Structures are given as C-alpha cells and as structure tokens.
Structure 1
Amino acid sequence: MKANRKRLSAAVVLASGLATGSAYAQLEEVIVTAQKRTESLQDIPVAISAYDADNIESMGLFNAQDVGAASPSLQMPLYPTAGNNMALFIRGIGNADSIVITKDPTVGVYYDGVYAARSTGLLAELSDLERIEILRGPQGTLYGRNTTGGAVNFINAKPTGELGFKQLLGAGNYGSWRSVSHLNLNDMGGLKAKFTASFSERDGWVDNEGPNAVAGLDYTDYYLRETEGYRVALRFDGLQNLVVDYSYDYSDMNTAPGYFQYSGPTGGLDPAFNPVTSRFRTRLEETRTPTGGGRFAYYLPETETEVQGHNLTIEWVMGDHLTLKSITGYREFEDDASQNFSQSFDNAGSLEINTVTDHEQFSQELQLIGSYDRLHWVAGAYYFDEEGNQAERQYLDRATVDRTGIIALDFTSFPPTPCSDGSTADPFCSDFTLFFPLYLGEYVVDTDVESWAVFGQATWSATERLDLTLGLRYTDDERSAVRTNDGLLWNSFGPGASDSNLDEPDYTAIADYQWTENISTYIKYSTGFRSGGSSRNSLADFSRAFDKETLESYELGWKTELLDQRLRLNGAIYHMVIDDVILDYLPDPVNSPQFVEVFNSGEATVDGLELDVTWALAENFLLGVSYAYMDTDIDDAIFPDGSDRSDTTELVWAPEHAYSINADWDIPVSYGTYRLHADYAWQDDQLALANTNFGEITVEAYGLLNARFSLSGLEMMGGDWQLALWAKNLQDRDNANYAIGTTANTFLTPRMYGAELVFEF
C-alpha cells in the first residue's frame, strides 16, 4: 500500500471545499471509511465527498435535503405525496418513486454501517453526526445490491468518555425554532455514554385557508414541519482489543407535503363550464383555486411519521493485522402520509392520496479485515430481511353537479361550501351538492424481501507506486409481493401477486498508480445491480413484475495535491452502461397521475465528468468548487403501449451541468474568531418524470445562495460560546423545483433566515 501521508490527522474535512479550524496554510487531511477501513481520502480510488461536523454546522445542513442541495452529483427531490421522504439520484441514477415499497432505490443509505432500505424519515434532524460520506458510482462489491448510483454514509459521533454538555438554540422566520442537546458522561470502567435530543418546528409557508373551510376538518398549512428526535450511544472498550458500540435512535415527525400549483393553460379545468381559469406560474404563499383564482382551503391532515433503529457493532482486534467486525441492525417506521393536489391537474378535480406504511428490517454483516506483507483485504458475509405493508386510498373529494348535469370537483368537505370563486351570495352556486367524496378506491400491498451475500476485496501493492485491487460479491435475492383491494367494481388497482428469485455476481477491478507523493491516478471497472419489483400503482396486472437492472462502470480518476498542499484537485471521468433500465411511465399524467407503470426498457448510457477543487488561497481563506457534467442516452426505449421512444426518452433528475462554490473566511480576533461562510449551488434543466405522450416534464435550471456569519471561541462563564446569523436562498429565488404532468408544480422554499446560539461546557 502507499506510504502514509505525512500529516495524517483525525480531522475530516469537506473533500470538495472546506476545512476545519481557522488556519488554511495547508489543507487538512481527509479521513474516511468508505472501503470498510480507516484511510486517507487522497489514497483511495473512489470518487467521494465528505462533510464533518464543522462543515455541517457552517453550511447549515439541518437535514439530508440540504446535503443534496450542496452536492452537484447528488439530486434529492422531495417525494410529491410526503413531507418526510426523498428520492436520491447520483450520476443520474435513482428511484423517483421513493415511497413505494415494491421498488428499490439505486443509492444506498447507511447509518453507522446499517443499510436503510427506504428513505422515509431521511428528513429527520442531522443532530449527532461526525461526518457524511457520499460515494459516487456503483458500490456493488463492498456495499451490495441497490447501490448502482452510489452510497451515502451517515456516521454518528461516538461517546467521548469525558463529562461535557453542548446546547444549540436557534430561531428564524416562519415561526421556526430549533434545539439540539448533547450530553457526554464520564467513563465508568470502560463504559462511555452519550445522549442527544433534538427538537425543531417551522410553520408551513403556504397558508391553507379559504372561505370554504369547514369547522372540524383539517387544513394543514403546506410545508409544515415539527420534529423531535432522541439518540442514545453507548461504547464499551474496557477489555483489550475489543470495542462494543450500541445505539438507539427515535424520531417523531409531523409534516405536510409540498403545495402543487396549477400552471396549465387558462382554458383548463373543464373550460366549457369554468371559462375563468387562473394559472399560477410564480410561487404562491397561500392556497388558491384555479377556477377564478380566489382563496381556497384544501382538506389536508398532517403526515405522521415515527422512525426508530437499533445498531450493535462489535469490533475485535484478533492480532496486529487481523480484525473481526460484526454489524447488527434493526430499523422500523410507521408512516401516515396525506397529500391534496389542490386542483393542480387538468381534469377539473383535486386528487387526495393517503398512504399508510408499516415497515421493518433486520440486517447482519460480518467483516474480516486483514493485511499481510503488501496485501490488504476485507472479506465478509451479509444477511438482510425486510417486511412491509402499504395501504393507499385515493379520493376525488366532494363532487358538485351543476344545472347541466356536468360534474365539477371542488375538493372540500361534505357540507355545502361557498362558490369556488370565494363568493357567498349563493351558498350552493346554483348547483346541488353530493354529500360524499368520489372514492376511487383502496389497495394494500404486502412485501417480503430476503437477501444474503458473500463478498471480498483485496489490494496488492505490486510495486511501491502501483496498487492492484480485485473485488467480488455474490448476492442471492428473494422477494414476493401481494396486492389486494377493497373489492369495489370501479377500483382500478386490481389484485395480484408476484415473486422473484435471482442471484447476481458483482465485480471490481482497479489499478491505482502513485506518480509522486501527491499525485495519483486510477482506472476502475465496477458493476452493480438493482433488484426488480412490482408496479404498486399499476393499472395492469400486478402479477407482471419488472426485472432487475444491471450496470457496468468504467472510470478514470485522479487525486492531486499541489502548491505545497495548498491546492487539492480531484476528479473523475466515467462511462456507465445500464442494461434493462427500469423506467416509470404515466399513461395519462394530466388526468390520472396516480397511475404509474414500471417496466424494463433497453440500454441506457451515462457519460460524465466530475471535478472537486479545494484551494487555501490565503492563511485564513478557503475556496471550494465542485462541478459535475452528465450526458445520458437511452436506446431501445420500448414503452408498455408498444411505442418506441428512444429519440425522446431521457433519464430523470440528471442535469447536464451542475456546480457548487463555497468559501470560508476566518478572521481571528482577541476574543474569538469570526467566520464568514457562503455557498452557491446551481443545477441545469432536468426531467422530473419519465417521458410520456404529453411531452417532457421539465424543471428549469436554478441556483441557490446561502450564507452564515458566526463568532466562535468566546469563553464566558466556564464554557465556549458561539453566535451565528444564517440565511438560505438569500436571493429569494422562486423557481419551480418539481413537476407532475404538464400542469402541476411545486416551488422553491422562500428565503429563510435565523440566528443560533451554541454553548459548550
């Protein structure tokens, strides 16, 4: 293996930009565990970004969505029917239907080494993290199935064994406030303990009010967030060569989803009988009806989510060059999510969806990590079991029939309400009212997944400059799913069952050459696969499952440090081929966006370039720039209706260009240190849904500017204090950031700002 870096330290810094501390004469070393062992980021042939606790604080990374916004190769759109679930895409590869339990992701999410099969609850507070690692490209050998796009590791801080307390208090606009508390206890005979509690709240920034509101019904403001979370971490290291870590985390979230505004043609919403139709092409902060544009309240209960998990990691150093590690994980969540699409589809109606999910998973991984002479290796075995139940109800709520007998949909509540234009002169709008919602039906999906794997990867230092790596993983994956419905004749979601049993090998081969002490290049071949599944929202036979998709990746990367370790320039050029690519298809995204067909199509290719630059421009000034370029193409895109759309079909959430710029300027003074931080992230146009007969559904390009100004290192009353002011979306951009069909859009969160006080004893 390469010689250890001269100044290897335990500090972990943002690989694409930031460093810890107030002196940037030379760049700090980055330490990661991406390859199951502790290594320098500059020494491993992996395209990776890393954030430490200091970066998370400076950049205001309150939750995972903030991480996605700061990383050009990582896209993390909110799922449209939930305020607590996100889709993850790396290098253009992801799963837009992230809430669906019969369709797996392509980006693996790990909490202290434990794989989380679903991203529900991912928006919980980032309250106790030591660092975040974002691995780009397929990780099939060391991480396994469903990591074809990459992996995101959330690594929590361990107990220190020294008595200490840290408290963060913050407040901002839209009624937001935040509290995070950390308590470390003294070492007690080798037992260390740490307790964390976090609470946050923010009012919904789209007021859901109108003259049609009915007492006793729920009209939650869109984008509301209330969270509380707790974590207990225990570490026992009282025996020589043995370390045992146990943690338990719990999060309880009350949220509301995004507000979809009608942005279609002004002749929409049954134009023959509603000639005055309003479309909303800029961000609204109050709910309105497209029919006339007046204030209108939409029935919307809060989404309630509970997530909890256990982690037990045992590490036994068996000798100078051999370590056995066991990682046992159990996670579960309960989620009751509601969305009201607020008359945003061009079908004269408003669709309400309620999705209730119960999910649990168990995983066990064993790793044997060793070295001998010039050989370093890791071998292991993995077992995973997942069970889930998901019920979904869909309504077109409250139908009114006018004098012509034409049905128009108001989506309010059971009793009569004022006219849709907000007037109350005629409480029945010259129509008579049906005192029931149009119930489209309910279906329930039960799923069971069992997977096991064996893996190994070895690196041989062929010469002092050349490292050769080979890796292999074999996976056996079994799954079954059953869909039942309520038996109503008009329920379009018919019953059915599907199952699959597959085995798949994955490979890695790397040649890594160290040209000088600070310059290296690597070439890499790797594979991965995403499991198949079933179309939960399919109109077709549920028993017709879709198959796995497989990926091959070819990558040329480089790691360099120049100008006496003041400039770090890392990058990668890659070519990926996806076979049997899994696509989503909305047969009618305008009138029936709830029906989604998932199918295997032809071959997709992704070609890309990534650059990460870190430059200590001055003693106390650090600049970081990250850039990602992608070119995607799909061949033989045969859709379920038999049409060939190879010329028009593209991968979703895959912007051609994206970049981020961030800067830190530290100003030491006699009583502390001022820090001015700013970051700007921009992304190109990108498709939000698969290509359909109704044309491309595109989110236009936009950029976001964030800033934070802090004074730290204040010593008062026996502790260290920090004061900070922050702002997100400083320019108050109001671009659309999600689209469903050609008429429904959500928009960027308006400018948010606040202040924080942090004290530590």
Structure 2
Amino acid sequence: MPALPIRTKLSLAVVLASGLAAGNVAAQLEEVVVTAQKRSQSLQDIPISISAYDEQAIEAMRLIDAQDLGLVSPSLQMPAYPTSSNNLALFIRGIGNADSMVITKDPTVGLYYDGVYAARSSGLLADLSELERVEILRGPQGTLYGRNSTAGAINFINAKPTGELGFKQTVGVGNLDSWRATTHLNLPRMAGISAKLTGAFSDRDGWVDNSGPNRIPGLEYTDYYKKENQGYRIALRYDGVENLLVDYSYDYSDMTTGSGYFQYAGPAGGYAGDGSLITNSFRDRLKETRTPTGGGRYAYYLPETKTEVEGHNLTIQYEINDQLTLKSITGYRNLDDDLSQNFAQAFGDAGSLEVWTSTNDDQFSQELQLVGSAERLNYVAGLYYYNENGDQSEEQYLDRATYDLTGIQAFTLPTYAPCSGLPGGPYAQCAGIPFVNYLPIFLGEYTIKTDIESWAGFGQATWTPNMLDDKLDLTLGLRYTDDQRDASRTNDGLPWNLFGPGKSSSDKDKVDYTAVVDYNWTDEVSTYAKVATGFRSGGSSRNSLDFNQSFDQETVTSYELGWKSQLMDNHLRFNGAAYYMEVDDIILDYLPDPVNAPNVVEVFNSGDANIYGVEADIQAAITERLLVSFNYAYLDYDINNAIFPDGSD
C-alpha cells in the first residue's frame, strides 16, 4: 500500500491575560505541576511529550469544551463524530478511533477523569470551566496507564473544594440564539469536610434548517446540529485525620443534540424515477442538487439524540511516612445514549435511511498505587482491575419524506424482497400494492452484549546514579495485563436482516515496557531518549456478517527523542520531541460492498504502519499581560503489507 499524505498542524495563540503571564512584574512563566507519572512533578522535569493547561490557561485561551483542546495542543485532533456531536473522535499522532460508541471496539487514546478510565468519549463535550488542570500525554502510555493508550492519554483533573465560602457565576451569549452559564459554589469546611457544587448549562439552535411543508403534527423535526447541554458535579473532601485525604465526586451530564447533515455524493449506479440507470458521471450533479440546505421541499422526521453520563469517583490517600504513600482510586461510570440518525437529506426526494441506536454501558475500575522514594530512587507500583458491560441495539428503517416520481431513488430493492417490478423503479410493487405504501420499511434490529474484564500489575522506577553530578536519570517500567472479552449478537429473526446471531470471545495477555534515559544539561535544559510500548485490545466486528470471528490486539512500539527548556530567565518555554512509531497488526475496517450494503463492516488485523513526526510547543511571556503560544506538529506515515479479506491491498 503506498504512503499516505503528510499532515502538518500549526497553531498560534496570542493571549492577553494576567493569569497566564503570572501577573507579576517579572512577567515570568509559572511552573506547571502535573501528575502524569502518578506523583506531583514539574512539567519541565518529566521525560514525556506532554501539554498541560491549568484553570487560568483554560480561561485565558477561551477554551469552552474538550473539543477546543485540539486547537491548542500539538498532534491532538478531537473532531465531533459526524452522526453525533456528543461523541468525539480522539486522535494523537495520527492514531485514533473514529467512533468510540462501537462497544465491541476499544479506543486508542486513554481518557481519564481524576484518574478513572472512561472507555467511551460520549459526553466528553462537557464544560471545561473550573478544571484544576488537563494533561495531554502523547505517545504510548502502556506502563502507567495500560490498555488502550497506544496513541496517548488525556487526564481531566477537577478542582477540589477550597474549604472556604466562595461563589462564581459566568454567563455568555452568541449567535444562533446560543447561551452558556456556569455556577460554582464552595462551602465552608465543617468537621473536616469541604464541599463544592458546580452546574454548567448551554443551548444553541441548529445551523441547518429542517424546514418544509410536509410536517406532521406530533412528530419531531429537529434542526440539524442543535445542541443543549446541562451538567452537575458534587465534590467532597475529607482531611480531618492526619495523613489521610479522601476525595469523593459525583458528576452527571445530559446532552441533547440534532443529527448531523449529510451530503450524499450519489451511488456508483442505481435507477432514476423513470427506471433509467443512473451512471457514475451523474454523481457530481447528485452531490450538488440532491440535497438543498435550508428551505428545502421536505422536512425530515428527526428525533433528538439524548446522552446521559454519570460517574462516581472515590480516591483515598494515606501517607504511611514521609517517603511512602498508599493510594486507592475507585470509579464507576454509566452511559445511556439514544442516537437518532436520519440520512434523508442524503437521499433527497427518494427516501431515507433511519437508524436508531440505543446504548447502555457500565464500567467499574479499582486501582491501588504505592508511591515511594528512597535514596536516589523514586518508584510507583500498583494493581488494576477493570470491568465493562455493554448493551447496544440498533434499528434500521427505510423511509421517505413524501413520494415523488420525479425524485431520484437512490436505493434498490433487495432481490429477496417479496416484491415484483423493477428494483428501484417508481412502480415496484408488493402483492399488487405500490411499494411506497409500505414505507417506512423495518429493515431489522440487532442487539450486541459485551463483557470485558481486565487485570494488570505495574511498576515504574527512576534511578539517579551517583555520577555526572546527578544529572542523569534512568527510568524503567513494566506492566502485565490480562484481558478477557466476551460478546454476543442476537437479531429479530427477519429473513432480510443481514446481521445474524453469533458469539465471540478472547483471552489475551501482554507485557508492556518503558525505558528512558534523561539528562539535565543545566537547571533549565534537559533531553531524553525513550522507548515505550502499548497495545489496543482486540474485539468483535459489530456490523460483520459473521459475528463468531474476533480480531486481535494492535501493538505499538515508539522511539522518541525529546527536549525540555525554560529559557531567558523563565520568559520562554520551548519543549519538543521527534518520534518514530511502529504499529503492528493494525485494526482496519473493511466494507465488502459499499454500494449495495454500506452498513456491513468487517473489522480485521492486517499490515503494519510506520509513523514519523516532530512536535514543538513554545510559550513566551512578553509582558505582564501578554503571552504568546505557538505549537507545531509534522507527521508522515505509511501502511505496509495490508491485505483486505478480498485479497486486495
């Protein structure tokens, strides 16, 4: 397979904010403290390609929700998935998973809320206000973060209760009748307990009208890309016992959106309203004329998509002595998602494909960490358990806004349909009744159930040998993971339902490692060389014809050279990295018949990829109130030896 196009990303931000420039006469950059290695460290001291943004930076750069992070962090892309703006597609260094709502396939970017792993990025468009910090780690994080972090990891750290009475309210308005409001209330500390309450609300009208004269009372005709969000968070902190710190939080978010708007380019072949064949040369005109936006002839039945996410987090830290801390992180998260997709606008006057997907996903995780230090040695060791249970059902209907013989019929009747007449023609009939009278046609329903259980043990240590004036640090980390998965698919038994019943399972284990050599040339400049591995779990192909087959793990080995520098008396920070990654047994999607059966997707392992890139992240404090940020990412990659199931490459 030939090399794919080079991708380059560059962004520049000029920020007027006293908070970002430290707000002092010296106009120096503030130290950024992160917990990327399970202990508090300066951003400049850890040999990781990482971006971190605290509360002041988030506010100064006007970052509203998680999707905005892709605008300021090198090598990070976070576009909304086309069919649901509640679901973000996360990519770091070119590796990602477009649709995290496929519960039989795991993501490649580890997503964490206060250290608790979240398998699905639905609901990630939550408000970023009042975060203490967000950390974006680039490259495989297989040792400390584990499975499904082959591209990197993102950790959202929420601000903790202050223990003092405080109130903060923000309100904003915009076009499309949009508005946004956030409320934060800190309560005074009592009996060793501090509390904080947060509420975030936003609303925006759709920006593609779903209008037309054919509206039927009682049906929903939501505008495309409408969005309405509300979220709540309760945080409690107990510090009434010496050496003991307990944090509990509960978060809930409710998101309502309208479907995305699709421009359909036309099929490779088909039939027009009079039964004549549509040729490929007609495709461009279909793209332009089939789907007028706004004020069209037909309004389409378009229910809203609703997503509810809730989570519990309990973190307990006990300081055994000055050099040893025991930490427990317990998490539970639940996702309920009712996704409505209507592709009517793609099919124009002819018809539409309605897809309703209902998902319930529960996950529980428990992590124990032992964080310690000794003479010339810092270490962390831990045990991890994770369980996820998912239930996902999908219904598909063929519908039409109204029947119009002059409209282009983009579908053809399946050969096994009990009908007579010309497939795709205007008078195809079933038992002598015009085909249109059967709309909407129920194409079928299937249900997927998954059960995932994972165990892991890990450890990482950094040693400073008594040589080279203590400027050299050596790090070694190991993690063992046992990953068990079971999945099943059932259907409604209709003869034309392509997705038959089946079961699949897998039981895999994997050892990942990290090795780093870090050298501090001065107090302000350091360089590091790093090799790290990671893996993405295997799974099942949700929309395959044969559900009894599963696909295997995808593995990554990364080689990285990086540098950290704080220059010009802390006025300039210049960090960067150059990397090379080898991806083996790539998990690929394959459509056997994209024209006649675009809903059939086979997932399989094949081939390997080589990824090369360089990143730069620069911040300069120009004056007390002016900070300039610049980041750049260059990526080049090719995929080799990928053979599709039909033998093509």
TM-score computed with the length of structure 2 as normaliser:
0.88
For 2:407 and 2:209, the matched residues in 1 are separated by 33
- How many pairs are equivalent? 605
CA shift in 2, pair 1:168/1:473, >3 Å = same
The one-letter code sitting in structure 2 at the alignment partner of 1:22 is G
For 2:233 and 2:269, the matched residues in 1 are separated by 53
The one-letter code sitting in structure 2 at the alignment partner of 1:206 is V
Query: 1:105–1:530: 8 Å Cα contact kept in structure 2?
Result: yes
CA deviation digits over 1:135-173, x for unaligned, max 9?
A: 000000000000000000011000000001101111111
Query: 1:15–1:48: 8 Å Cα contact kept in structure 2?
Result: no
Query: 1:146–1:530: 8 Å Cα contact kept in structure 2?
Result: yes
Query: 1:316–1:324: 8 Å Cα contact kept in structure 2?
Result: yes
Q: Residue 571 of structure 1: SS of its match in structure 2?
A: strand
For 1:457 and 1:346, the matched residues in 2 are separated by 58
Q: Residue 216 of structure 1: SS of its match in structure 2?
A: coil
Query: 1:398–1:434: 8 Å Cα contact kept in structure 2?
Result: no
CA shift in 2, pair 1:589/1:51, >3 Å = farther
Q: What are the residue-to-residue correspondences of 1:326-337 with 2, within 5 Å?
A: 326-337=328-339
Task: Give 1:349 shift.
Answer: 4.1
What is the aligned partner in structure 1 of residue 55 from structure 2? 53
Q: Work out whether 1:582 is the aligned partner of 2:587.
A: yes
Q: Work out whether 1:596 is the aligned partner of 2:598.
A: no
For 2:146 and 2:177, the matched residues in 1 are separated by 43
For 1:200 and 1:118, the matched residues in 2 are separated by 22
User: Which of 451-460 and 220-229 deviates more?
Assistant: 220-229
Query: 1:83–1:303: 8 Å Cα contact kept in structure 2?
Result: no
Task: Give 1:268 shift.
Answer: 7.9
For 1:35 and 1:522, the matched residues in 2 are separated by 16
What is the aligned partner in structure 1 of residue 639 from structure 2? 634
Q: What are the residue-to-residue correspondences of 1:140-219 with 2, within 5 Å?
A: 140-219=142-221
For 2:505 and 2:320, the matched residues in 1 are separated by 42
Q: Residue 66 of structure 1: SS of its match in structure 2?
A: helix
CA deviation digits over 1:383-414, x for unaligned, max 9?
A: 0000000001112214988889996669xxxx
For 2:271 and 2:455, the matched residues in 1 are separated by 51
Task: Give 1:558 shift.
Answer: 0.4
For 1:622 and 1:160, the matched residues in 2 are separated by 28
Task: Give 1:124 shift.
Answer: 2.4
Q: What are the residue-to-residue correspondences of 1:416-431 with 2, within 5 Å?
A: none
What is the aligned partner in structure 2 of residue 95 from structure 1? 97
Query: 2:64–2:127: 8 Å Cα contact kept in structure 1?
Result: yes
For 1:347 and 1:482, the matched residues in 2 are separated by 38
Query: 2:270–2:410: 8 Å Cα contact kept in structure 1?
Result: no
The one-letter code sitting in structure 2 at the alignment partner of 1:609 is V
CA shift in 2, pair 1:521/1:436, >3 Å = same
Q: Residue 493 of structure 1: SS of its match in structure 2?
A: coil
Q: What are the residue-to-residue correspondences of 1:226-245 with 2, within 5 Å?
A: 226-245=228-247
CA deviation digits over 1:237-292, x for unaligned, max 9?
A: 0111000000001111111232112345999873865999955669x99447xxxx
What is the aligned partner in structure 1 of residue 23 from structure 2? 22
Q: What are the residue-to-residue correspondences of 1:57-76 with 2, within 5 Å?
A: 57-76=59-78
CA shift in 2, pair 1:56/1:399, >3 Å = closer
What is the aligned partner in structure 2 of residue 122 from structure 1? 124
Task: Give 1:347 shift.
Answer: 12
Q: What are the residue-to-residue correspondences of 1:682-761 with 2, within 5 Å?
A: none
CA shift in 2, pair 1:587/1:71, >3 Å = farther
For 1:238 and 1:335, the matched residues in 2 are separated by 40
What is the aligned partner in structure 2 of residue 701 from structure 1? none
CA deviation digits over 1:725-751, x for unaligned, max 9?
A: xxxxxxxxxxxxxxxxxxxxxxxxxxx
Query: 2:349–2:407: 8 Å Cα contact kept in structure 1?
Result: no
Task: Give 1:182 shift.
Answer: 0.6
Task: Give 1:67 shift.
Answer: 1.5
CA shift in 2, pair 1:113/1:271, >3 Å = same
CA deviation digits over 1:26-71, x for unaligned, max 9?
A: 2111111111000000000000011111222223322211212333
Query: 2:349–2:401: 8 Å Cα contact kept in structure 1?
Result: no
User: Which of 53-62 and 309-318 deviates more?
Assistant: 53-62
What is the aligned partner in structure 2 of residue 713 from structure 1? none
The one-letter code sitting in structure 2 at the alignment partner of 1:628 is A
What is the aligned partner in structure 1 of residue 536 from structure 2? 530
Q: Work out whether 1:517 is the aligned partner of 2:520.
A: no
For 1:150 and 1:60, the matched residues in 2 are separated by 24
Task: Give 1:99 shift.
Answer: 1.1
What is the aligned partner in structure 1 of residue 437 from structure 2? 434
Task: Give 1:568 shift.
Answer: 1.3
What is the aligned partner in structure 2 of residue 481 from structure 1? 487
What is the aligned partner in structure 2 of residue 34 from structure 1? 36
CA shift in 2, pair 1:465/1:180, >3 Å = same
The one-letter code sitting in structure 1 at the alignment partner of 2:200 is S
Task: Give 1:21 shift.
Answer: 4.0
CA shift in 2, pair 1:261/1:233, >3 Å = same
Unaligned runs of 5+ in 2: 1-10, 413-433
The one-letter code sitting in structure 1 at the alignment partner of 2:531 is Y
Q: What is the aligned counterpart of 1:569 among 574, 580, 585?
A: 574
Query: 1:17–1:613: 8 Å Cα contact kept in structure 2?
Result: no
CA shift in 2, pair 1:125/1:616, >3 Å = closer
What is the aligned partner in structure 2 of residue 453 from structure 1? 456
CA shift in 2, pair 1:506/1:228, >3 Å = same
For 2:575 and 2:585, the matched residues in 1 are separated by 32
Q: Residue 386 of structure 1: SS of its match in structure 2?
A: strand
CA shift in 2, pair 1:404/1:123, >3 Å = closer
Q: What are the residue-to-residue correspondences of 1:74-89 with 2, within 5 Å?
A: 74-89=76-91
For 1:583 and 1:124, the matched residues in 2 are separated by 30
Query: 1:399–1:436: 8 Å Cα contact kept in structure 2?
Result: no
Q: Work out whether 1:493 is the aligned partner of 2:499.
A: yes
Q: What is the aligned counterpart of 2:546 among 538, 541, 550?
A: 541
For 2:513 and 2:146, the matched residues in 1 are separated by 10
Q: Residue 498 of structure 2: SS of its match in structure 1?
A: coil
Q: Residue 112 of structure 2: SS of its match in structure 1?
A: strand
Task: Give 1:520 shift.
Answer: 0.5
Q: Residue 344 of structure 2: SS of its match in structure 1?
A: coil
For 2:248 and 2:199, the matched residues in 1 are separated by 17
For 1:314 and 1:222, the matched residues in 2 are separated by 44
Q: What are the residue-to-residue correspondences of 1:613-632 with 2, within 5 Å?
A: 613-632=618-637
Query: 1:326–1:364: 8 Å Cα contact kept in structure 2?
Result: yes
Task: Give 1:450 shift.
Answer: 0.3
What is the aligned partner in structure 1 of residue 376 from structure 2? 374
What is the aligned partner in structure 1 of residue 477 from structure 2? 471
Query: 2:93–2:138: 8 Å Cα contact kept in structure 1?
Result: yes
CA shift in 2, pair 1:403/1:259, >3 Å = closer
Query: 1:16–1:614: 8 Å Cα contact kept in structure 2?
Result: no
The one-letter code sitting in structure 2 at the alignment partner of 1:498 is S
Q: What is the aligned counterpart of 2:325 among 307, 323, 326?
A: 323
Task: Give 1:98 shift.
Answer: 1.5
Structure having greater relative contact order (Cα 8 Å, sep ≥ 6): 2
Query: 1:15–1:612: 8 Å Cα contact kept in structure 2?
Result: no
The one-letter code sitting in structure 2 at the alignment partner of 1:584 is D
Unaligned runs of 5+ in 1: 1-13, 289-293, 411-430, 646-761
What is the aligned partner in structure 1 of residue 427 from structure 2? none
What is the aligned partner in structure 1 of residue 419 from structure 2? none
Q: What is the aligned counterpart of 1:505 among 507, 511, 514?
A: 511
Task: Give 1:438 shift.
Answer: 2.4
TM-score computed with the length of structure 1 as normaliser:
0.76
Query: 1:347–1:590: 8 Å Cα contact kept in structure 2?
Result: no
